[in-house]
Structure 1
Amino acid sequence: MAAKQKPEDTESPSAPRLPEGSDPAIPLGEIDQGPSAVDRFMEAHQTKLLIGLALLVIGAGVMIVVSGLDEIKETEAGEALVAAKNPTDFRNLIEEFQGTAAEGTANLQLARALWDEDDREGAKTLLEQFIAKTPAHPAQPAAKMTLASFYREEGDTDRADKLLLSLAQNPEAKYLAPLALLRVSASQEQSGDIEGARDSLEQASDPSLSGSFLSQRMVESRLETVGIVPPVTIPRPKPPPPKINVPLLAPDAPDSLNTPSGAAPEPAPEPAPEPAPEPTPEPAPEPTPEPAP
């Protein structure tokens, strides 16, 4: 019998052989040429996206317009504050330009004007309402400082010191903290709390507090003298009573009484010098008798 011929190996010698029992490789499918997921999302929500974009543009425009209007309002409020001269002008500014920086300054100026007019309750009420209603206003530290000075002037040192301590603890009012603590220390020293006064002054001398150079110098000077009792001051002696001018008396009164007070009396005439006595002539010597011859 003729030998069986081996089937020809048609596979490429470089192609890897598949393990026995495995399925032949499945060819890759064709790449999908349709629209991507982003394109399909954009196509499905195109209208919503356009509306959202339009709203963003409108919102940005509104913010720009509002910002411009706020700047115009602040400018007009500043001009009105400069032109204000009396309490009526300050009241009109407060009502018309609420929320502006000039409103806080107008409240302070109006409170001082009411205080000068002896309307002390009105001045305190105005500042108390302003502090309670606008806690974030830039004029808050100055308003608290002014209100504390009103309390102190009326003798209510407890409320004044409480307000000053809260002001000193406010990080946005560091520039006023040394002055506030300086006033608190004065009250503590007056009440006999020397240690408390010294502690307040040491807090006021903290370099982190951005106080003025003058306030820092005042704090350093007070630290050197806190608790020191000044010497007793001796009062000045009273000046002598003024001289009283005596009016002239009758013509026949003595000259010493007719002389006005303050005028020196005329000096008495000096007595005339007595004439010197004439010299006594010496007697002539008697002639000597001649002897008789």
Structure 2
Amino acid sequence: MSTDSPDRPEIPRPLGEIAQGPSAFEQFLDRNQKNLVALTILLALAVAAWVIYHGVANSKERSAGAELAKAEDVTALRNLVRDHAGTAAAESAQVLLAERQWTEGEKDAAIATLEAFISANPKHPARPSAQASLGSKFQAQGKTAEARKLFEQIVADPAARFMEPYALLALGDISKASGDTKAAEESYKKAKTEFPASSFANIINKRLSLLKAQLPVEIAPPPPVVAPATPAAPAAPTAPTAPTAPTAPTAPTAPGAP
């Protein structure tokens, strides 16, 4: 297996990108680095627990376990999954393979690997961790609907309780990003109340503090001043009436005229 210690997990970062400022994935890592560190540790512990649980029941398991201990790259892990199908080591290698694929920029392949593992291994102890890992990857890609569905499945599953504080934290972040601060607060508070000693407790407390911080109250602008009505123009003076022409005098009647 890789010489990386579970206590110093490797944070996934995309490869082959042209540096034009921080990518969306890098910004996601900046916001969620501590979350992903803790998630990686939990994932490694779950995988290790499964291998230890099965132990070395037979020579096939011993051989697969030995290869898993030496596998350090995508090729080695992929070969292990193919050549030792059905062993506990091969099942666990799928989860580790997905993480390595994601680290090396094979994001679609990583998601497909996790989806296949979750579908084929519903009872595997690492299944909740794999769901959380898949949810975080969808979240990094901006696929919040897919991420929310996975985190809600974790919260509803009693067997996934050890991953529930992380799932609640992620659900709170998704709700906050969508502007639903009420739902975000409910998720954070549930995580704080039910899991006060979790490795995510400090992060959850900070999220709540930021959520409760009152933003400056915006004062509505005063209504626009209504301009006074323009007075009506004065009526034009009435033109003087033309004088009536004088009536011509009547001619006098001649004397003797009838």
Q: TM-score, normalised by structure 1?
A: 0.50
Return structure 1 stretches of 4+ with deviation > 6 angstroms.
Answer: none
TM-fit CA distance, 1:206? 3.8
Separation in 1, partners of 2:125, 2:176: 32
Separation in 2, partners of 1:68, 1:179: 29
**8 A Cα contact 1:104 1:139, kept in partner:** no
Q: Which position in structure 2 is the counterpart of 1:224? A: 209
Q: Using a 3 Å threshold, how does the CA distance of structure 1 residues 71 and 141 change in structure 2: closer, same or farther?
A: farther
Q: Paired residues, what number?
A: 163
TM-fit CA distance, 1:197? 0.7
What do the CA deviations read for 1:97-146 (whole angstroms, capped 9, x no partner)?
A: 33443233311221122223332221111111111111111211111111
Separation in 1, partners of 2:58, 2:200: 34
Separation in 2, partners of 1:129, 1:212: 33
Q: Which position in structure 2 is the counterpart of 1:214? A: 199
Q: Using a 3 Å threshold, how does the CA distance of structure 1 residues 219 and 136 change in structure 2: closer, same or farther?
A: same
Q: Which position in structure 2 is the counterpart of 1:195? A: 182
Q: Using a 3 Å threshold, how does the CA distance of structure 1 residues 77 and 230 change in structure 2: closer, same or farther?
A: farther
Separation in 2, partners of 1:227, 1:120: 35
Q: Which position in structure 2 is the counterpart of 1:184? A: 171
What do the CA deviations read for 1:145-187 (whole angstroms, capped 9, x no partner)?
A: 1111111111111111111111122111211111111011011
**8 A Cα contact 1:101 1:137, kept in partner:** no
Q: Which position in structure 2 is the counterpart of 1:114? A: 101
Q: TM-score, normalised by structure 2?
A: 0.56
Give the AA of the match of 2:164: A
Which of these residues, 131, 135, 157, is aligned with residue 122 of structure 2?
A: 135
More helix by share: 2
Separation in 2, partners of 1:206, 1:227: 17
Q: Which position in structure 2 is the counterpart of 1:125? A: 112
Segments of 5+ residues of structure 2 without an aligned counterpart are 1-53, 217-258
TM-fit CA distance, 1:200? 0.9
**8 A Cα contact 1:175 1:212, kept in partner:** no
Give the AA of the match of 2:147: A
Give the AA of the match of 1:154: Q
Which has more radius of gyration? 1
Q: In the alignment, is residue 81 of structure 1 matched against residue 81 of structure 2? A: no
Tell me which moved more, 92-101 or 136-145: 92-101
Instruction: Map 1:21-170; keep pairs closer than 5 Å.
Output: 70-170=57-157
Give the AA of the match of 1:205: K
Give the AA of the match of 1:159: E
Give the AA of the match of 1:220: N
**8 A Cα contact 2:165 2:198, kept in partner:** no
Segments of 5+ residues of structure 1 without an aligned counterpart are 1-66, 232-293
Separation in 1, partners of 2:147, 2:130: 12
Q: Using a 3 Å threshold, how does the CA distance of structure 1 residues 200 and 69 change in structure 2: closer, same or farther?
A: closer
Separation in 2, partners of 1:218, 1:160: 19
Separation in 1, partners of 2:209, 2:126: 33
TM-fit CA distance, 1:227? 4.3
Q: Which position in structure 2 is the counterpart of 1:253? A: none
**8 A Cα contact 2:185 2:211, kept in partner:** yes
TM-fit CA distance, 1:72? 4.5
Instruction: Map 1:265-280; keep pairs closer than 5 Å.
Output: none
TM-fit CA distance, 1:212? 5.2
Give the AA of the match of 1:120: K
Please provide the CA RMSD for this pair.
2.5
SS of structure 1 residue aligned to 2:200: helix
